[in-house]
Every structure is written in structure tokens, then in C-alpha cells.
Structure 1
Amino acid sequence: MTHHRVWDPLVRLFHWSTVLLFAANAFVTDPESDLHLYLGYTVAALLAIRIVWGFVGPATARFLHFLPTPAGVTQQLSDMVTGRKRAHLGHTPLGALMIFNLLLSLAGIALTGYMMGTDTFFGIEWVEEAHELLVTWAEISVVLHVAAVIWESRRTGVNLTRAMVTGVKDVPNGLQIEP
């Protein structure tokens, strides 16, 4: 087993804080409550920090490091179909697509949530519907994300959840490593 430091503390703090805050806002808080607003603003602030970190943080945190390409996505899908196993030190190409999807979804949720509290957009139906649609899309995406993490962890032998907790990705000996 080889050990690779991949996720810095800020990326991990963003990830797990967003998990908890999104879950609390989606499933626990009253959407009309001040707590719902404060949690939403906290997610928006975390998202802003993560976006900045995606340009100035360490290599694996930078968006350019895990920008998915059609060739990379095709290669990963081919690996899955043929049973070929590779470890990616950062996000896999499909994982990167999901990360960008989730970041954009959270941004849309934050924007429409903010808009609903302004005089201009308060009570405007399309804004509320867009907010609810984005939340539903994010919930579906989270379920797919968790399922994919479990699938890829089992398929490759790399415990992706532990890597996001500890920051260290343990790669079985002999497994080809992609940057």
C-alpha cells in the first residue's frame, strides 16, 4: 500500500461542513426559519472560500488539476466496463464532473435563496420553484455521488471516504496511478 497526501484540511473542512449544513437545511430546519437562512449563508460563504481555494490552493484543490476531459471520462468508463483498475490521486474524471455539478448546484441554491429574501424577488414563484428544483437536483446528485464513491472504493480498493477524512489516499500496491 502506498500513501499519498491528497486532500488538504481546507478541502476536507469544506466537504464535511457542506455535507452537514446542506443535510440540516434540506431535512431538519424549517425553510421559513432564521436558522435555515443562516445555514444557507454559511454554505454560500464556504462555497466562496472553496472557489477561491480552487484557484490558489494546493495542486489537488485546484480546479485545473481535476478539470475533466472527454478522453478522461471515456477512459474511466472504459475502465469500469473492462474491469481495469486505476487510482487517481485527485478526483476521477467522473468524480470531477460530479464536483462541478454540486458546486454549481450549491451556487444556484444560494443565489435563489438570497433572491427570495430580497424585495425584488420576494414571493416570485419562479425563484422559489428554481430554488426547490435545485435542492432536489442536489439531493439526487448527492445520492449518486455517495453511490459512486462506494462503487469506486470497492472496485479499485481505494477507500475514498477515508481519504476525504484523513487527507491521505492509500493505494494498493500494483495499482496504476493517474495524476
Structure 2
Amino acid sequence: MHVTLGYTMVGLVAFRIIWGLMGTRYARFSAFLRSPASVIRYLTSLAKARPERHVGHNPAGALAILAILLMTWAVGVTGWAAYNSVGGEWPGELHEGIANAMLALVAVHVLAVVMSSILHRDNLIGAMVSGYKSGHAGESIRRAHWGVAAVLIAAVFVWWGAQWRAAPHVPPADQPAAAQVHQQKQGDDD
């Protein structure tokens, strides 16, 4: 399951990179990656409790998203290397370290989204789920791409199904080893 979910995450990052190049206006990297000065300015506005308003990603959130995407890719690559015994022990250690750092970053990001929702008086979590956020008419995107979302979700479920069918049968962990060997020999005799 760990390996399947790892490949799923790498696949979703690949999709997000493509969507960041070709997707809707606010999903594109060109629309939300900003300079370090704009990140500092945005964080300063948050500290003063007068946050700058952004319909799409704010500069700090955009930086966090980029870091999460890069870290997910790094976790996937080091996980693949560890799983396939490439490079000795260090890929596994690096995999664990990056994964833990990524979990910490995700926790900070979630906390920041909640705090931004409160400071902006805007439901950012609802906007992330639904794709709808209040704003001026000129700030909107033409249409939501629900079909793309449905295809992506279907692809993930097909991938999981394929992995589930290909997975080796593992006997229950609470069964003694001798019983497992006995059952295997009995199966061979049949």
C-alpha cells in the first residue's frame, strides 16, 4: 500500500505540473509564482493583520505549494531508490527525512490556510474544494474543469485497482509461521 500511494503521489505531482503549465488562470505557475520581495511583503501584511487580498494563491502559499510539489517528487524518487535497493542505505534515510520535513511543511501550510481564512474572512478551504471564491467579475475563470477532475479521480482508482490485483497474497500476521508453511505445503500437494 505504501508503494502504491507513493506512486499515486508522484503521478498527482506530474499532473499538477502539467496543470500548472496548461490549466486555468490561477492554477498556472506563471500566475502565482512571485518574487521573494512579494512573499516578504505579503507576510508583513499578515503580521500587521491587514493581509493583501489575492483571488488565486497568495505569494507565501504559492511558495509552500512549490516546496510541497518538489518535496513530494523527492520523496517519490528516494522511495523508489530505497524500494529497488539502489544506492545502499542512504536513499531510505533520505526518504524518511524528506517525508518528515514535508509533513511538517504540510502542517504549517494547513495552519496558514486556516489563519488566512480567518484574517481574510474568506473560506479558503471551501474554495480549494469547490473551486469557487468570491471576487470581482474580471477575476473569474471562464469555467471549471470538472471533466478533468473526474478523469483524474478515475485514473487514480484504476491505478489502485491494478495495484490491488497485482499485489502478492500475504497471510494474516497473527497466524504462526509454522501454520503458514503447513498451509503452503498442503496447497502444493493439492
Verify same fold: TM over 0.5.
Answer: yes
**Aligned residues between the structures:** 137
1:47 is aligned to 2:47: no
- Partner SS, residue 133 of structure 2: strand
1:125 is aligned to 2:125: no
- Partner SS, residue 53 of structure 2: strand
Q: Which runs of 5+ in 2 are unaligned?
A: 140-190
Greater strand share, 1 or 2?
1
User: Taking structure 1 as the reference length, what is the TM-score of the superposition?
Assistant: 0.71
Displacement of 1:117 in angstroms is: 2.5
Instruction: From the superposition, tell whether residues 157 and 56 of structure 1 become closer, same or farther in structure 2 (CA, over 3 Å).
Output: same
CA contact (8 A) 1:102 1:141 kept: yes
1:115 to 81, 102, 108: 81
- Partner SS, residue 103 of structure 1: helix
CA deviations on 1:30-83 (whole Å, 9 max, x unpaired) are xxxxx1111111111111111111111111111111112122112212211222
Displacement of 1:87 in angstroms is: 2.0
CA contact (8 A) 1:87 1:158 kept: no
Identity %: 38
Q: CA RMSD of the aligned region, Å?
A: 1.7
Q: Distance in 2 between matches of 1:120 and 1:75?
A: 43
Displacement of 1:151 in angstroms is: 0.7
Aligned to 1:139: 103
Aligned to 2:28: 62
CA contact (8 A) 1:54 1:63 kept: yes
Aligned to 2:56: 90
1:157 to 112, 121, 143: 121
CA contact (8 A) 2:10 2:76 kept: yes
CA contact (8 A) 1:159 1:170 kept: no
CA contact (8 A) 2:42 2:51 kept: no
CA contact (8 A) 1:105 1:134 kept: yes
Aligned to 1:74: 40
Q: Which runs of 5+ in 1 are unaligned?
A: 1-34
Amino acid at match of 2:130: T
Aligned to 2:112: 148
Amino acid at match of 2:89: E
List 4+ stretches of structure 1 deviating above 3 A: none
CA deviations on 1:143-166 (whole Å, 9 max, x unpaired) are 101110011110110111000111
Q: Distance in 1 between matches of 2:59 and 2:99?
A: 24
Q: Distance in 1 between matches of 2:47 and 2:15?
A: 37
CA contact (8 A) 2:82 2:89 kept: no
Q: Distance in 2 between matches of 1:83 and 1:38?
A: 43
Displacement of 1:119 in angstroms is: 4.7
